[in-house]
Amino acid sequence: MKVNAAFIFIAPEVNCKIHRTVLDTPVVNLVVVGVKSYKEAEIIAIELVSQGVKAIELCAAFGNEGIALISKAVRGKASVGAVKFDHHPGFDFKSGDELFR
């Protein structure tokens, strides 16, 4: 059975309507979406779950608070995981909790 999954990344100046793609493989249908804030990530996560996504992976720029917000937003309707460094090297070693909420 094919898994419906998503990867959400966060960065400044990202447009979630433009910066998205779908990778359709024999075993996973992966939606990749870029967002510019935690609030936008919550909205996108809820949207993805309503479309059948059962697993959401968050990029390393999501801090602990961001991961908790997305987990709460989907309320057990999807598993939420995260690539993790709390102080992201791509953002001057700052946490997403500091930059994106």
Q: Where in the sequence is the domain holding 65, given as residue range(s)? A: 3-99
User: pTM of the predicted model, to two decimals?
Assistant: 0.86
Tokens of 44: 């996108």
What is the structure's pLDDT at 90? 72
Comparing CA positions, the residue from 24, 30, 88 lying closest to residue 55 is 30
Tokens of 38: 């935690």
d(C-alpha 26, C-alpha 44), whole Å? 24
Mean per-residue pLDDT, 54-61: 94
Cα angle 85, 86, 88 (rounded to 5 degrees) comes to 65
Q: What is the count of structural domains for the chain?
A: 1
Residue 11 sits in a domain of what CATH number?
A: 3.40.50
What is the structure's pLDDT at 81? 94
Which helix (H) or strand (E) is 6 found in, with range?
strand 3-10
